[in-house]
Structure 1
Amino acid sequence: MKNSLLKQLKKRRLELGLKQIDMMMRVGVSRQQYQRLESKGNPRLDTLELIAKGLNSELMLIPKEKVNAVFAVLESVETEQKPGQKPSDQTLTSKRKNLSEDPWQNLLEDDQ
């Protein structure tokens, strides 16, 4: 199931173990402003970019026909580790090597 952008922001914040109040120091918005944005906001692009940076994330524009492939890759990376467990150094090195050789892993190529 695909999440809305606001749900993704909240999920990422929780994954990092951050509270809404923590976003004040990371992004420069009050807890109330961030809470409103996360629950029903309609943020400007520059605000989204700031929040993404504060959450150690990137905003990306993904072609519709590739969205499912991107979600599949993200889900496979999440399921490779047990919840709460950090990946081993060997796993990280292997993933970095694969990504450095082909960062998009053929995700943006046309299906043939």
Structure 2
Amino acid sequence: MTSVLQQLKKRRLALDLKQSDMMLRAGISRQQYQRLESKGNPRLDTLELIAQALSSELMLIPKDKLGAVIAVLEQKASDQTNDPTREGANKSLSDDPWKGLLRDD
């Protein structure tokens, strides 16, 4: 499983956003965001701001439910992979954990 910081970066790139775009979207400077992506240890309120800026939600999933959540996400990704109109449909869920979760992907 990828780290939260890796997921944030993948999501930002999937939305075709630059680190400097986060200033307007999340209210933090490019330098702050760059530091967060590279070695960050963000506060929870900062993560919430960034998630909102990336049209995302933070979730805490109990370990005993993680398998079920991943199965649902993989099924959703599989359903979209079978749709030939979806661009980038050959990416796996582990490559892109945000795949298909939001309509702007």
Say whether the fold is shared (TM-score over 0.5): yes
Residue aligned with 1:6, SS: helix
> For residue 41 of structure 1, what is the amino acid of its counterpart?
G
Percent identity between the aligned chains? 68
> For residue 4 of structure 1, what is the amino acid of its counterpart?
S
Larger Rg: 1
Instruction: For CA contacts below 8 A with separation 6 or more, give which structure has more relative contact order.
Output: 2
- Gap regions ≥5 residues in structure 1: 87-112
Cα-to-partner distance string for 1:9-60 (whole Å, 9 max, x where unaligned) = 1111111111111111100111111011011100000000000000001111
- Gap regions ≥5 residues in structure 2: 90-105
Check if 1:84 corresponds to 2:83. Answer: no
Cα distance change of structure 1 residues 75 and 17 upon mapping to structure 2, 3 Å threshold = farther
User: What is aligned with 2:11?
Assistant: 12
What TM-score do you get using the length of structure 1 for normalisation?
Answer: 0.67
What TM-score do you get using the length of structure 2 for normalisation?
Answer: 0.72
Residue 85 of structure 1: CA displacement? 6.1
User: What is aligned with 1:65?
Assistant: 64
Number of residue-to-residue matches in the alignment = 85
